[in-house]
Structure 1
Amino acid sequence: MHPQVVVDGAVVAPATDGQSGTTPDVPPDVPPDVPPDAASTRRSMPLVLGALYSVWAALACDAVLDISLRAEPIWQPGRGALVSLLVVWCVVLLLIGLTGRIRRALTVLAPLCLVIGAANWKRMSILEGPVVPSDLTFLEHPGFLEEMVGWRWIAVGAVVVVAVTALVHVLGRLAGRRFQPVTREHPRRRAWLVLRAVLVLVCGLALVHTTTFNRPGNLWSKLYDAAGVTWAGWDQVQNYQQNGLVGGFLYNLPAEVEPPAGYDAAAMKEIADRYTERAAQQNQHATTALAGYNVVLVLSESFSDPTKLAGLELGEDPIPHTRAVAKEQWGGESLAIGYGNGTSTMEFQALTGQAEALFDPRLSIPYQQIVPGHPDYPSAVGWFKDQGYRAVAIHAYSTMLYNRENVYENFGFDDFVHDTTMHEDAHVEHSPFISDKSTYDEVLHQIRASDKPLFAHVVTMQNHVPTQWYDDPVEVTGTSGSEAAAVGGFARGLSYTDADLPALLDGIKATGEPTVVVFFGDHFPGIFSSRTRNANSDLTMHTNPMFVWSSEGADHRALPVTNPVSFLPLALERIGAPLPPYYELLREAGIRLGALGPDGVVTRSDTVVPYADLDQRQQQVLRDLRMVQYDFSFGQRYALDEMWPGAASAGE
């Protein structure tokens, strides 16, 4: 007799297998209306669909990340797309292994990809540059992120993330009703647990291996190479758009820095002695003691010359006073490392004399990637202090931007004056940034208040991320729409900066203290259309006005395109002060080579000569530069005390 089953008051005979009279072995997670021959298929469906869904999820997440790069066309997978997809798939499988449910994995991964994509899109919009690994340091400063992005965008982003997370969760639950998950009673539960453990182990190790992407023998790097990827380290926007956000991000992970061939104590001693002798010869012509002058280095945020751009016509010249100073004193153009970004690296070059072009391309943000790794770092700050100067940094913005607070301390500045400690914090019209006039007034205050000669490093903020903040933008023709509005507003901001320049220089003269000022723009803002950029040469888009001014009178010299590493040597030369051996090396490099750029040197005739095409004597100077730069940054600093005494004195 088989046991009776009562359903809704009626006696129903239980199903049998037709032979032994026993009930079929149907797992508890399979409904009773499912035929026995479909039970095993039904049990395997979650695993099969999980694998398919995981691939789909990886594709969707990788596409979201790449779309955030604003490439044209919007998304065009490069040669390394399959490798990048494999990296993302490893993340998906790892989360599935950890959570045991694809729904839970996607609930975590979908908002994470949205946040990363949004952060990258916003960074591209503001700075014309993608996220890099060193940007993770900004997570330590949520207040700064709020200042840069704004509460409105943060609120919108939060709503979108919550909505997408909820949608993924709901869809996952609906799919779970159709295809039952592996439960505690599932006959294959043990196999599933083993599979989860394998996923966590294999995918976890694979992802940990990505952190050594730039070390010799890395398998991920070999996969990208096998796919035919070409890394564009000289231009990170191109690099990311060409190879995807995942590939570009991996490329910018920390890299091992190899010393130049022949680097050792003896080689550095030879170089130090050579330039010590040349500096002694050059200094025979020095006419002024250095400590008799204040030295002011002014980096003017986004200060550039839009009137030189082909395809655009401005209704007025926004920088007439700057042009007049450049014609009366030493004037020319600075060589920018980037378009729309690169401010901190321009600072780094000017303060350290170390050219970004001579570092590995992956070390594109020294303030975040190089300087923090040292208890002190050789810079003009320490050297000026060794000469009896007081050193002050003035930046009209947050101390957190590009880790400046820690970097300036590392360099050895006596004081760091910023947005909350400046004596004035006025704004021009509707601009959210402190005006250049307030910044210039702070410079004058610091000169008057200092008992010692002053070395002031100044970074303005007024023209940062220019937009329509002014009621009377400059008229722009040759384009229309958003570009015309952006350029017109930017040009009006430039005109305000330019109009405040005479007051700064006249104020310096009024102090009666001899002073030399190096003024330069760091880059064009990222507001120009691809049509405008394509209509102008790469060199045109990477040069900005600069001059070296002395309070002691006019002395005109037309300067060639100049890398910031040469700014302070030029300032000392302008006032007739003696040069340390390191600055003699930089002076000679500026004369014999030109401005150091990513693809070669920019000569006095504004042509770019690849490094491989330099003659033998030029190659020797370039080799000396590479050796000294490595020695001061990653090497043993064999030559530092002789070539640049006191330059690394942050801890003193």
Structure 2
Amino acid sequence: MTEVREETEMEATTGDTAADGVIDSSDVDIADFDLRRPRTRPFGWRFYLVSFLMVDIVAVGLLQWSVWTVEPLRGFGGFISKMWTSNEYQFLLNLLILAVVYLILIVLVNRFWIASVVFLSIVGFCAVADRFKVMVRYETIKPSDLGFLKSDAGSMLGFIPTGSSRVFMDAAIFFLAMIVIGYSLHQRDGRRGFIDLHGRAKTAVARVVLIVCPGLFLGLFTAGLANTGSWSYNFAQTLGDSPKLWDSVIDAQANGTLIGFQRFVNPKVMDEPANYSEKTMAQVAKRYTQAANEINQTRESNLEDSTVIMVLSESFSDPTRVPGLALNKDPMPNVRAIKSQTTSGLMLSAGYGGGTANMEFMALTGLSMANFDASLSSPYQQLIPKLGWTPTFNQLWNDGKDSEAFHPYESSMYSRSSNYKKFKFRHFWTLNEPDVIAHQSKIDSSPYVKDSDAYQSLLEKIDTSKSQFLSVLTMQNHMSYDNWYSNNEFQATSTTGDPLGLDETTQIQTYAKGVEYTDEATKAFLDQLDNIDKPITVIFYGDHLPGAYASASENTDNSVALHETDYFIWSNKASGSHGTKLPDSTTAYTSPNYFMAQAAEHMNAKVSPYLAFLTQLHDKVPAMEPPVVNKIQSWSRIPDGQALYLDKDGNRVDITQADKATRQLLEDYRLIQYDITAGKGYLKDLDFMSLPKTEALEDAEEAAKLPVGTKNAGEVPMVNGKLAAAAASQQEGQNTQNSAQ
């Protein structure tokens, strides 16, 4: 591809050679490596090759340094040594991708040493920026963070931690050293151009090829890395890539910072429905606006007139329902009694032993993992950062201004700290600054904050002067279950004839004791809510079963049973829906995407077109999830197979045999979900997410029509016995909500 110019014996003797010649393949004298000796001959090809490799390794090391804030050299060493200790070659994968970038830059600049300095400078800058973000937020930089280049470059200042002067100093020394070394090598290298450009057409073609081919490889690799079944996905998997999407820093440490970044560039969300268009979405909005109007004729209350609390209870489920398992006592008598007295049933979970954030995502948005492409295994990491419009149910309460969330753990997990800001939660209380959760006690040797403290932290934030949306994600029953509790009286035994293993027994008994603690804390929590003179409704659910049932999980016939958790919807004594228990025929089975629609039905509250749609879909398809397996959640992809649908009795349904009305609802669901997550967002301007106007809002509109100078002008007018000022305040919140939705 480049013209090879043979050096004559005389040129070799005198050192005279064409400055733009290509690398001589003759043996290289040791003097070729003597940088102190002035010279005009080009370096030998071996020196270029070794230098290229060394620069590439340094570049990988810089990027790995950015995610190892403690003992970075040890971390980088482990990243390399995995090749012979675990047969994992993520180091080589990152080395290859960076080498492609490096090669393109060399051909573009056509100066090897200048290109090397520029390359390391770019990588170094990215590494420093990434390290700062890890130090401040414990998150790596993602493609969505690069939006500051088009908008507010000053937002990068938010990534710079206090006390970072040492990093700046080290970076300055590194950059200065690179410039000195690069300049010195460039001056001593007789080859001023890496490719001969003396007017030869074939050389120009070669240069284009050397840019286009590596660039095409890089683009195609990046575009397909996150998509299951693509060549780049399979290639990366062959070299050991194993996505860890619950934590971007851990993912970067294990798989490489560059690969961790690339996997978020182009994740496939879902296929575009064949009939997707603005006209189609207008028809969908009209269809469910009419449905909402019909439902609302018999509904008497308003969702936003009550405080709604959504409780995701980590790994909470009934161990006595697990096939082949017996316990010596009931670990959840209180929740069992509560379920018998209020709207309740079983929730079909998409995960086993993991997948918390996906259930949380579905509960907050009403969207379903069953509609996404198999490549989209973690919406919180792969989808939400890229979205401009993120309608969530908490935004129904004063556009999110009256919503708060609580999670007694790290705020960075699943990128919650960033996502909750996007969801417009006013506060997200965790173990990290700036919003530190108030209570953090633990039980015995458990490493996790107990549920009673999580509840207490939430209770202290209830404001009886207004309605709120509050969400709590507990941690007490998180894996693994290592005999944490003193005086644990639970005993687990097998009913199949095959005894449980020692580790399995310990885990189940530890988990059962934790469930008992949760059961007691939940009853006490509801008792305290009963004493508050404010309508409050609680949506309580377990996100998935613990990954502790090794024996039961071996039998694929147990798949559904190992993906069913407990849920209930309960209202306190101050609520009009206190004591309501919807028929078991409509509530026995559900999935988290339906919770808000079910809560509205339980509360006899008016609905938006979106909630009307979910209400109708739940009636036809009570529960739905993507394919499930009896293994702890994998983050590389959704499992193979058909999505799982259950009928009102909990039996599997072949959705291809569904009636016309059900097929229409499922088609509309895909259209709605595509429009929100991957489409044009046509529904945003069609009031699809908006609740009907409340009486106070209508009063405010009437007050606004009063002519200036009427009686009591200058005073707050009374409208239907209510203060128009209060109504106007509600109108402002409603208007803000509608514009956001």
What residue is the counterpart of 1:555 in the other structure?
581
Pick aligned residue for 1:261 from 274, 280, 283? 274
Q: CA deviation at 1:27?
A: 6.3
**Which of 330, 336, 352 is equivalent to 2:365?**
352
Aligned equivalent of 1:545:
566
Tell whether the 8 Å contact from 1:304 to 1:523 is kept in structure 2 after alignment.
yes
Displacement, 1:432? 2.4
1:491 corresponding residue in structure 2: 512
Write out per-residue CA displacement over residues 474-506 of structure 1, whole angstroms, 9 at most, x where no aligned residue: 322241222221222122111111111111111
C-alpha distance in structure 2 between counterparts of 1:338 and 1:236, whole Å: 14
Q: CA-to-partner distance for each residue in 1:167-215, whole Å, 9 max, x for gaps?
A: xxxxxxxxxxxxxxxxx9xxxx99xx88xx9999966763453101169
Question: How far is 1:47 from its partner?
Answer: 12
Alignment match of 1:407 (pick from 419, 427, 430): 419
Match of 2:688 among 638, 643, 646: 643
Is contact 1:252-1:362 (8 Å) kept?
no
Partners in 2 of 1:573 and 1:442 — Cα distance?
28
C-alpha deviations, 1:300-321, integer Å up to 9, x for none? 1111222222233323222221
Which position in structure 2 is the counterpart of 1:514?
535
Amino acid at match of 1:296: I
Residues 1:204 and 1:582: Cα distance change in structure 2 (over 3 Å): closer
Assess, with a 3 A threshold, how the Cα gap between structure 1 residues 325 and 587 changes in structure 2: closer, same or farther. same
Give TM-score, length-normalised by structure 2.
Answer: 0.59
- SS of alignment partner, residue 281 of structure 1: helix
Deviation by residue 1:377-400 (Cα, 9 ceiling, x = unmatched) = 1111222325x9822212222222
Instruction: Letter of the 1:320 partner, please give it.
Output: P
Cα distance in 2, alignment partners of residues 527 and 266 from structure 1: 50
1:141 aligns with 2:134: yes
Distance 2:359 2:291 in 1: 27
Match of 1:60 in 2: none
Q: Assess, with a 3 A threshold, how the Cα gap between structure 1 residues 400 and 541 changes in structure 2: closer, same or farther.
A: same
Would you say 1:221 and 2:221 are equivalent positions?
no
- 1:87–1:437 CA distance, 2 compared to 1 (3 A): closer
Map of 2:592 onto structure 1: 564
Displacement of 1:560 after TM fit? 2.8
Identify the residue that residue 578 of structure 1 maps to in structure 2. 606
User: Is the CA contact 2:538–2:571 (under 8 Å) kept in the aligned structure 1?
Assistant: yes
- Give matches, 1:48-447, under 5 Å: 140-142=133-135, 206-213=217-224, 221=230, 254-257=266-269, 258-385=271-398, 390-419=402-431, 421-447=436-462
Q: How does 1:627-638 map to 2 (within 5 A)?
A: 627-638=671-682
Question: How far apart are 1:283 and its partner, in Å?
Answer: 1.5
CA contact (8 A) 2:138 2:412 kept: no
Alignment: residue pair count: 533
Q: 1:145 to 1:494 in 2, by over 3 A?
A: farther
Give the percent of matched residue pairs that are identical in Structure 1 and Structure 2. Answer: 29
CA distance in 2, matches of 1:509, 1:398: 31
Contact 1:346–1:522 under 8 Å retained in 2: yes
- How far does residue 357 in structure 1 lie from its aligned partner after superposition? 1.4
| Matching residue's letter, 1:616 | K
Distance 1:621 1:556, change over 3 A: closer
Distance 2:131 2:313 in 1: 23
Contact 1:603 1:609 in 2 (8 A): yes
Closer/same/farther in 2, CA of residues 344 and 48 from structure 1, 3 Å limit: closer
Is structure 2 residue 550 aligned with structure 1 residue 535?
no
8 Å CA contact retained: 1:412, 1:649: no
Shift of 1:538: 1.7
Question: What secondary structure, in the 3-state scheme, does the structure 2 residue paired with 1:490 have?
Answer: helix
Going from structure 1 to structure 2, the CA distance change for 1:139 and 1:564 (only over 3 Å counts) comes to: farther
Kindly indicate whether the alpha-carbon contact (under 8 Å) linking 2:341 and 2:579 is maintained by their aligned counterparts in 1: no
Question: 2: distance between equivalents of 1:585 and 1:519?
Answer: 22
2:367/2:673 contact within 8 Å kept: yes
Instruction: Note closer, same or farther for the CA distance 1:497–1:26 as it changes in structure 2 (3 Å cut).
Output: closer
Match of 1:464 among 478, 497, 504: 478
Q: SS state of the match for residue 337, structure 1?
A: coil
The 3 A distance-change label for structure 1 pair 200 and 463 is farther
CA-based RMSD of the aligned residues comes to 5.4
Distance (whole Å) between structure 1 residues aligned to residue 130 and residue 30 of structure 2: 48
Aligned pair in 2 of structure 1 residues 611, 91: CA closer, same or farther (>3 Å)? farther
Q: Does 1:626 align with 2:686?
A: no
User: Contact between 1:293 and 1:453, CA under 8 Å: does it hold in 2?
Assistant: yes
> Structure 1 residues 338, 137: CA separation in 2 closer, same or farther (over 3 Å shift)?
farther
- Is the 2:348–2:564 contact (alpha carbons within 8 Å) kept by the matching residues of 1? yes
Q: Distance in 1 between matches of 2:101 and 2:285?
A: 53
Distance 1:377 1:223, change over 3 A: closer
Partner of 2:70: none
Higher RCO (CA-CA < 8 Å; seq separation 6+): 1
**Deviation of the 1:438 alpha carbon:** 1.1
Q: TM-score, normalised by structure 1?
A: 0.67
Give, as a single letter, the amino acid of the residue that structure 2 aligns with 1:548: I
CA separation in 1, counterparts of 2:505 and 2:405? 35
Change (3 A) 1:335 1:84: farther
Deviation at 1:374, TM superposition (A): 3.3
The 2-side partners of 1:296 and 1:212 are apart by: 40
Kindly state the Cα deviation for residue 250 of structure 1 after the two structures are TM-superposed: 8.3
CA distance in 1, matches of 2:653, 2:474: 33
SS in 2 for 1:212: helix
> Given residue 210 of structure 1, which amino acid in structure 2 is its aligned partner?
F
Separation in 1 of the partners of 2:618 and 2:130? 35
The structure-2 alpha-carbon separation of the partners of 1:245 and 1:332, relative to structure 1 and needing over 3 Å to count, comes to farther
Look up the match of 1:17. none
Question: Structure 2: which amino acid aligns with 1:532?
Answer: A
Does the C-alpha gap of structure 1 residues 499 and 201 become closer, same or farther in structure 2, counting only changes over 3 Å? same
Q: CA deviation at 1:588?
A: 0.7
| Alpha-carbon distance in structure 2 between the residues aligned to 1:471 and 1:95 | 58
CA distance in 1, matches of 2:491, 2:47: 63
Q: Map Cα deviations across residues 65-103 of structure 1 (whole Å, 9 max, x no partner).
A: 9x99xxxxx99x9xxx9x9999986778999999x9xxx
SS of corresponding position for 2:275: coil
Deviation at 1:437, TM superposition (A): 0.5
User: What amino acid maps onto 2:440 in structure 1?
Assistant: D
Post-superposition offset of 1:524: 1.9
- 1:522-570: CA deviations, max 9, x gaps? 11233343x4312352212222111111221253633232111110111
Distance 2:344 2:378 in 1: 28
Alpha-carbon shift at residue 456 of structure 1 (Å): 1.0
Q: CA deviation at 1:512?
A: 2.4
Q: Aligned partners of 2:607 and 2:553: how far apart in 1? A: 39
Partner of 1:524 in structure 2? 545
